[in-house]
Structure 1
Amino acid sequence: MAASQHVVIKPNVLYVGTPVMLLCTENADGSFNVAPASSYWALEHMLVLGLFADGQTMANLHERRGLTVNFPGPELWRHVEDIADTTGADPVPEAKSSRYVHENDKFGRAGLTPQASEIVVPPRIQECALQFEAEVRRATPGLGDYYLIEAEVVRIHASADIVVAGTNHIDPRSWEPTIYSFRHYFGLGAEHGFRPTSDTASRLRQPQSA
C-alpha cells in the first residue's frame, strides 16, 4: 500500500467511531431519564462510560447506581436524534442553555417504549435489540468536566434474531449497532475478517445441511 500524505488538523471532536447508546437512569421523583451517549469501552463484563458532569444522567448515578445501556440499530437514529438536544435537568445547565431544552418525558419524545428490567430499577428500551442491565461500581472525576463511570453488567438481554441458536453468542453478522463517527450516524459495512478467538466464526461458516 502506498503511503499517503498526512496533514495536521484540529477537529472539534474526536468521535472516530463508537457505538451509540441510550442510557436509562432513575430520576429522584421515580420517573426515568433517557440520554444518548457514545463514549464507551468494555472489558469482560465491565463498562467504562464517559459522561458530562452537569447532565441528568450523572446526577442520577450519583444517587442511584442502577442503569440500563441500550444499543439502537441504525434504523433508530432519528429516534436518538429526537432527544439528542434535550436534557432531564431543570433548569437547563448554563453550558447547555444555548442549544438544549428540558424534557421530562424522553421516552415519549423519542417514540420509544420502556421495558421492565429484571435486576435494576431503570427500564430497558424495547426497540433496542441488545440491552445491558448494569450497576455503577465507581465514578471517577475526569481531567475535564466529565466523569468516568465504571459499571458492571449484571444481565444481558438480546433479541433472539441476533443470537446464534443454542448458544450465548451474539451473531455479528445479524447484529448491527449504530456507529457515531464525527457526529454522523452509520451502520456497519462488509465484514473484512475475524479474530481466531471468535466465538462464532467457525460455527457460522459451517455448510448448511440439506
Structure 2
Amino acid sequence: MTHVVIRPKVLYVGTPVFLVSTVNADGSFNLAPASSYWALEQMLVLGLETDGQSARNVLERPELTVSFPHPELWPAVERLADVTGRDPVPEAKAGRYRFEADKLAVSGLGFEPSELVAPPRVAECRLQFEARVRRATPGLGAYLLVEAEVVRVHADPAIVVPGTEHVDPRAWHPTIYSFRHYFDIGAEVGWRATSETTG
C-alpha cells in the first residue's frame, strides 16, 4: 500500500451526530447540532463551539441533553447547521451564521420534557441522554471541551434488546458525520467477544 501525505481541513473520520439542548438565560431552550463526541462509561466528552450559545449555556447552567438523530433526520440537523442562538452573531460566525431565537422551529423537530435535568429532549430521536456537566475546559482552539455525566438514558423500545437494558446495535442506526457528509451505518462486519448483544 502506498500512502500520500495530506492535510484535510477537518478530521471527522466518522462520528455520531447529536443534538444538544441547553437552557438560555431567559429560561427558553437552545438546540444545536454537533459531532465532536466520545463516551467513557457514563461520561460524555463533547466539543462545543466556544462562541456558540450551547457553550455559554452550559457554563452558566451546567445541564444538557444529548439526543441522537437517526439518518432520516439529517435534513433537520442540516437546517440547524448555519443558525446560532447568539445575538448579536459572534464575529467569527458572522459570515456564515444567522441568529434564530427559536431553533426548534427552524429544525422542524419537537421537544419533550426531561426527568432529571432542565433542558428538554428531542422527541423524534430514538436515543436520548440527560446529563449534568462535571467540567468544562475552555481554550482548546475554537472549542469548549465539556465532560458530562449521563444521569438518565431514554431509548425507543424498538432499539432495545427485549428483556434487557442493552441497545441493540443491529436495530440502532445513528447518523454518522464523515468529512461533512451524513451516513447511515453499514452492514455489521464483526463484534467483540465481550459484547452482550451477539447472536
TM-score (norm 2): 0.98
1:77 to 56, 69, 74: 74
Quote how far apart the aligned CAs of 1:140 are.
1.0
Are 1:149 and 2:146 matched, yes or no?
Answer: yes
| Deviation (angstroms), 1:5 | 1.2
User: CA separation in 2, counterparts of 1:53 and 1:82?
Assistant: 20
Asked if 1:18 corresponds to 2:15, the answer is yes
- The 5-angstrom pairing of residues 159-178 of structure 1 reads 159-178=156-175
For the residue of structure 1 that corresponds to 2:78, the secondary structure is: helix
- Provide the residue aligned with 2:96 in structure 1: 99
Distance 1:150 1:111 in 2: 28
Task: Pick from 24, 39, 43 the counterpart of residue 27 of structure 1.
Answer: 24
CA distance in 2, matches of 1:36, 1:123: 15
| Shift, 1:145, TM fit | 2.5
**Aligned-partner Cα distance in 1 for 2:57–2:87:** 13
Q: 1:86-108 CA distances to partner (integer Å, 9 max, x unpaired)?
A: 00000000000001000111111
Distance in 1 separating the partners of 2:135 and 2:30? 20
Q: Does 1:193 align with 2:190?
A: yes
Deviations 1:50-106 (A, max 9, x none): 112111000001110110000000000000001100000000000000010001111
For structure 2, the 5+ residue unaligned runs are none
In the alignment, structure 1 residue 62 sits paired with structure 2 residue 56: no
Structure 1 position 110, deviation (Å):
0.5
- CA RMSD after TM alignment: 0.7
Query: Counterpart amino acid of 2:161?
Result: V
Partner SS state of residue 105, structure 2: helix
TM-fit CA distance, 1:180: 0.2
Amino acid at match of 2:58: L
- Name the CA distance, whole Å, in 2 between partners of 1:146 and 1:179: 20
Structure 1 distance, partners of 2:143, 2:177, is: 19
**Aligned-pair identity (%):** 67
AA in 1 matched with 2:56: A
Consecutive aligned runs of 4 or more in structure 1 exceeding 3 Å deviation? none
Matched, 1:44 2:41: yes
- Structure 2 distance, partners of 1:44, 1:143, is 23
Q: Number of aligned pairs?
A: 199
- Alpha-carbon distance in structure 1 between the residues aligned to 2:142 and 2:110: 31
Listed one character per residue, the Cα deviations across residues 143-169 of structure 1 (whole Å, up to 9, x for unaligned) are: 313211000000000000000111000
Select the structure of larger CA radius of gyration.
Answer: 1
**Cα offset for 1:115?**
0.4
Unaligned runs of 5+ in 1: 206-210
Equivalent residue number for residue 208 of structure 1: none
